[in-house]
Amino acid sequence: MNYSKIKETYRFIFESYDKPSLQKHIEKIIEMDQFLPYSSTFFCITNTQDLTFEYISKNYNASLGLDSSELKEKGMRYFWSRIHPDDVESWLRALNELMEFTLGEIPREKRQDASYTWNFRFKNAQGTYVNMVQNTTPLIFDSDNKPIIGLAHYTVLHPDIKLDITASAKLLNANQEYETVYFNSFSQKLLHDGVTNRERDIIRLLILDKSSKEISEKLNISSHTVDTHRRNILKKLEISSTGELVGILKLNPHWL
């Protein structure tokens, strides 16, 4: 996929018409950077509308050996050009599904309490593709409550670590703790081609601890149909119980 196509897809995902100004608390986040220790994690203030980085923390250079002024000047297009070509399609799909989930499943008033995580491989200054895990918290929304300005934390991991591309969404609960409300993997190691899309949907909801009744309401099918799918899933994957399946995938989410 060429990078003009990435730009087109990315703009479609984050499309809006407002141009909000940055708020004061973003300035405070930037001020903190001078006190943070050097590490393999850096952060940026991202602008999904202008495709720019409003700010890049000092650890960008420490983590990757790259010049932050070049990233600031060239923006997201330059950032995209350093993502491993084999990861681009899955990464864009992950972003799109996260946005669809947000707009369809997270109420407007709760979107400010959401946090999103995904990963990809990224080329550092030595030309090595390291693993990058990105966690983004929206800070500013447009009039449709679509996130525009975000605080993105990037953790750089060793290239020899094998990571499947996954995406997740977490939401603050009443106890001010993050709960996973969405998870998806884009390599689907365990869920082979014999598992249907409907069965995949049911498995993902089971991992969120949904009952058959809740799944039936969510997918607009009967509880009997859900139970039939559950039996078929266990038979195809040669697993003895739903609890065993859920337990395996909770411990190894990259298998999903």
Share of the chain above pLDDT 70, in %: 88
Q: Indicate the average pLDDT of the chain.
A: 83
What pLDDT is recorded for position 147? Answer: 73
> Tokens standing for 140?
């500013």
pLDDT digits (tens, 9 = 90+) for 73-125: 999 999 999 999 999 988 998 888 898 898 889 888 888 889 999 999 999 99
Q: In the beta sheet, which residues pair with residue 171?
A: 114, 179
Lowest mean pLDDT among 15-19, 117-121, 249-253: 15-19
pTM of the model: 0.67
Which CATH number applies to 197-255? 1.10.10.10
CA distances, 124 to each of 66, 82, 152, 155, 246 (Å): 7, 8, 18, 13, 37
pLDDT digits (tens, 9 = 90+) for 202-242: 888 888 888 999 999 888 899 999 999 999 988 887 777 88
- CA neighbor of 41 nearest in space, from 194, 157, 179, 181: 157
Q: Which residues in the chain are classed under CATH 1.10.10.10?
A: 197-255
What pLDDT is recorded for position 253? Answer: 57
The CATH number of domain 3-185, selected from 3.10.180.10, 3.30.450.20, 1.10.443.10, 3.30.390.10: 3.30.450.20
Q: Which residues in the chain are classed under CATH 3.30.450.20?
A: 3-185
